[in-house]
Amino acid sequence: MAFKHLTENERFLIDKLWKEGKNITEISKTISRAESTIFRELKRNSTKNGYGYFSALKMSQERKFVRAQLYKADYSEFEKLFFKLFERHYHGVRATIEVIKQKHPNVLVPHWRTVYYWINSGTWICISIIA
């Protein structure tokens, strides 16, 4: 079974149904999600005032942002080396990654698909990549 994050719509429905007094089982059947998913959502994204759609969405987005920043920080040394060594017209992304692996064996290197994702998503902006 593929993992999917709760959508804004689903969070809105959880909020509405929970405030109507529905229990976790009823909510899970209504939105076709596992009871454990609803339980975790209520546990993770409730404040001292209870569960609310807007606060749940904000808390979820903040956690996602922090995780992304921590993940990217792990590869900061790789990022510096990549920008220094990458020359689009000379060799590609995979070749640059291999050079880094060979010349800097102690540097943590992400999978080449991750590097392509960073480039294509706009996470990385570099003159040699754009030019």
Q: Residue for token digits 């994204």?
A: 45
Closest by alpha carbon to 42, among 23, 29, 68, 66? 23
Q: Is 14 exposed, middle or buried (0-12, 13-18, 19+ CB in 10 A)?
A: buried
- For 11-23, the pLDDT digits (tens) are 999 999 999 999 9
How many Cα atoms sit within 13 Å of 61 on the Cβ side? 9
Residue 45 CB coordination number (10 Å): 21
- For 52-103, the pLDDT digits (tens) are 999 999 998 888 888 777 777 788 899 999 989 988 777 889 999 999 999 9
CA distance 71 to 126: 20
Position 110 confidence tier, pLDDT thresholds 50, 70, 90:
very high
Q: What is the DSSP letter of 50?
A: E
